[in-house]
Amino acid sequence: MEISLIALTMRATATRTIPSAAATVSSYLFQVRPFVAAHADAGRWSALTARQVARFAAHSAAGLRPRSAQVRANALRALLGFMWQEGLTASALAGAVGSFAAPAGAAGAACKGDTVKPRVHTEATRREATLASLVANLQARKDPYGMNGGQITALQQASSGISTLDQQIQSTCYPTLAALRTDATKLFVDYRVYWLRVPQTHAIQAADHLAEARARLGQVAAKLAGYVGSNTTAQADLAAMDQALAAADAKLGTPPTAGPSIAAVPGLLPAADMTAQTQALQAAHADLLAARASLSAARAGGAKVVADLRG
């Protein structure tokens, strides 16, 4: 079953029976995702057994303090109860969850940072949404320099890593705030979504767009060359247009080979010290702006040639 369908069923259950439904649904969805991922073999929910549910419950309790284990138990019961009501399972399985007790010795554990975890989860989901948007935008574009595929893979891997890290943080009982902070810091330092991945992807998109514009203007220049004849004014303006296109090529590159600063962008990786990455992005940004200015000049030159021919 798709996670989207689970979201709908959980929302329906929470809306009818649980106060503060929105917050509860968000929490419950997070808690049942591992169960859905482990058992959502398309069309096979009817074969789900109490033994499978009990095994998952016992395994998932490992490392959780009692209250966290109980939250997961409640989420799983809500899901299984609704699935039974809708006829998705062959039998009522909510009772198989049991007490979902945490392992012996966990009751006395003092978990730190529980009030911080929701904020970490918010930051994680925000980054996942940003990465998904970047992927969608790249997938919709042409790929004249062959950079989009690798960038899409990098973005998807980052999103997967963030999701895994978030699940780890939410399910771990941290003995100290410092231990939680160590893991939470990885969300920012190990992925650099807004410092690196966003401007990196935007630079690649800009290169794609400018390459398409350059190709169109090159076609226009080639056609105009067949009309200028002995018109010296038109010849001069066409020469200026060609020079502007050459200047754009010097910065942008010629497909399938991007200019040096632009070609370096996809290879940039997150780091604790982002000085080199920032400088590389700035260099690419400067060359993209210069290429855009040259293409604007080429477009203006083409308009002059047309005017010359009409005059």
pTM: 0.68
pLDDT confidence tier of residue 40, bands split at 50, 70 and 90: low
What confidence score (pLDDT) does residue 251 get? 98
What is d(CA 45, CA 89) in angstroms, rounded to the nearest whole number? Answer: 6
The mean pLDDT of 119-124, rounded to a whole number, is 96
For the chain, what is the mean pLDDT? 86
Please say if the pLDDT value at position 233 is more than 90: yes
What is d(CA 240, CA 243) in angstroms, rounded to the nearest whole number? Answer: 5
The percent of residues in the chain predicted with pLDDT above 90, rounded, is 62
What confidence score (pLDDT) does residue 19 get? 43
What confidence score (pLDDT) does residue 83 get? 77
**Selected residue with higher pLDDT from 74 and 11:** 74
What confidence score (pLDDT) does residue 204 get? 98
The mean pLDDT of 287-297, rounded to a whole number, is 98
Q: Check: CB of residue 301 under 8 Å from CB of residue 240.
A: yes
What confidence score (pLDDT) does residue 80 get? 78
Pair of tokens at residue 108: 């006395």
What confidence score (pLDDT) does residue 51 get? 72
What is d(CA 203, CA 259) in angstroms, rounded to the nearest whole number? Answer: 12
Burial of 86 (0-12, 13-18, 19+ CB in 10 A): exposed
The mean pLDDT of 222-229, rounded to a whole number, is 96
Please say if the pLDDT value at position 54 is more than 70: yes
Please say if the pLDDT value at position 42 is more than 60: no
Please say if the pLDDT value at position 192 is more than 50: yes
What confidence score (pLDDT) does residue 15 get? 46
Give 250-268 pLDDT, tens digit per residue.
Answer: 999 999 999 999 999 999 9
Please say if the pLDDT value at position 210 is more than 70: yes
What confidence score (pLDDT) does residue 258 get? 98
Please state the domain extents for the chain.
3-108, 117-189, 193-310
Token match 């994680």: residue?
A: 124
Give 60-92 pLDDT, tens digit per residue.
Answer: 766 676 777 777 777 777 787 777 777 777 877
The mean pLDDT of 209-235, rounded to a whole number, is 96
Smallest CA-to-CA distance from 130 within 73, 195, 211 is with 195
**Selected residue with higher pLDDT from 133 and 45:** 133
Smallest CA-to-CA distance from 113 within 172, 72, 61 is with 172
